Structure 1
Amino acid sequence: MSTTSGYTGDVRPGGPPDVRVLDRAVVAKRSVGPTDNAAYVVACRATGLRMLVDAAADASLLLELVEQVGEACPTGPLAVVVTTHRHRDHLGALADVVDATGARTAAGADDAEAIEGATGVEVTDPLLDGDVLALGELRLDVVHLRGHTPGSVALALVGAEDSGRSHLFTGDSLFPGGVGNTQGDPARFASLIGDVTARLFEQYGDDTWVYPGHGRDTTLGAERPHLAEWRARGW
């Protein structure tokens, strides 16, 4: 387990988490399940309250992850599980995690019904673009990114570092090397690349850290020079 100085975001399925300690937050990443899903715990260092982003699989490992951030902040409950989008590989452990913790659940409003149907878990907090999720003294802004699914959302953790750097949890809407899969649908791709450009790249700085739903982390600065290339290739 590493902290700020050693954090890379490189994790492997079933392996140990990678943990970074920020001025006012802790972010922990773990890979779970057969499709190498990234799940994240965000914790408020002042209050100990925790958020899980994508209860993808392996509930026991995710519940361990909720506890492991306690080394860098006070002990606190899991307050909410956010599901970034409706695809089954991002919600396989949702019911078990909620049963074990009693946490609230949040997801994009346009994906909420599908998530409830797939899991039997009520989405208590349907999210719209511009909503704010409070986690103790932390603020996470909701960014609706239409295209991968109708209700896909990203979360922007702002104010967690004295430097002003933001941290984006993008689900399957933005990865190193491109936007999420739109199954070759030109309209869906146009929607997603448009939202990612206007709502992420035009709103946040190059130092913004990106935590995707699978694989390695990146920054907006590393990806920004390639936006025109992505748009031209159509995926």
Structure 2
Amino acid sequence: MAYDGNVKVGGAPAVRELAGLTLTKISVGPMDNNAYLLRCRETGEQVLIDAANDAGTLIDLLGGAPLARVITTHRHGDHWQALAEVVHRTGAATAAHVDDAPGIRVPTTEPLHDGDEVRVGSCVLTVTHLVGHTPGSVALCYDEPGGRPHLFTGDSLFPGGVGNTHGSKKDFTRLIDDVEHKLFDRLPDETWVYPGHGADTTLGAERPHLPQWRARGW
């Protein structure tokens, strides 16, 4: 079945074969969080993005193979409820941006900064720091050889807008500035976006709406 990125809590994961990586997307409750398992097709190394909830379901995705690390996109609790158990059961390293790490109740063993690279076997994810939804939110980009960029945005970018800034004009301005200049200005329209909740999108689908998002202020 072709990958469309549509998953639901309790449903089957969606699997996408990329050049270099196998990507598995799954939704876990109770807040319909997306978690993404990346497996290097050359080495078999696996990395999980957001151990959001339901550790048993996330562990089952591993297929009995080791987990190298868990990357947490930001400090909000719905994105790391299963982190402690997943780390306990797998021995995986933990990675998060240095500004959000203190707000995650599992120690961060690999602090991240803007521009860092995180390896998934022979593949590389590039870290982009996005301020506004939280102080230390990150997006992670895999530039598929011979293909398109694949961008994991946590809660900073969704179909239809940037992440919630809880009514703070200052935080909204910082977030939309970062999203526009660090993501839209640097990456092409075909970039596939994998958010922390809900359906996927592309930068090309969202780009025409940036002025509208700025005007409405959320």
TM score, norm. by length of structure 1: 0.91
Aligned to 1:144: 129
In structure 1, runs of 5+ residues without a counterpart are 68-74
In structure 2, runs of 5+ residues without a counterpart are none
1:228 matched to 2:211: yes
RMSD: 1.0
1:191 matched to 2:187: no
Aligned to 2:51: 55
Aligned to 1:71: none
Aligned to 2:200: 217
Equivalent-residue separation in structure 2 for 1:156 and 1:188 (angstroms): 23
1:111 matched to 2:100: yes
The aligned runs of 1:57-136 (5 Å cut-off) are: 57-67=53-63, 76-115=65-104, 119=105, 121-136=106-121
Equivalent-residue separation in structure 1 for 2:36 and 2:119 (angstroms): 16
Shift of 1:179: 0.1
SS at match of 1:222: helix
Equivalent-residue separation in structure 1 for 2:60 and 2:167 (angstroms): 38
Equivalent-residue separation in structure 1 for 2:185 and 2:38 (angstroms): 24
User: Percent identity among equivalent residues?
Assistant: 59
> Which sits farther off after the overlay, 75-84 or 149-158?
75-84
Aligned length: 218
Per-residue deviation, residues 126-163 of structure 1 (Å, max 9, x unmatched): 111000101111010000000000000010011x3422
Pick the aligned partner of 2:16 from 20, 27, 37: 20
Aligned to 1:154: 139
1:175 matched to 2:158: yes
SS at match of 1:78: coil
Consecutive aligned runs of 4 or more in structure 1 exceeding 6 Å deviation: none
Aligned to 1:72: none
| Bigger helix share | 1
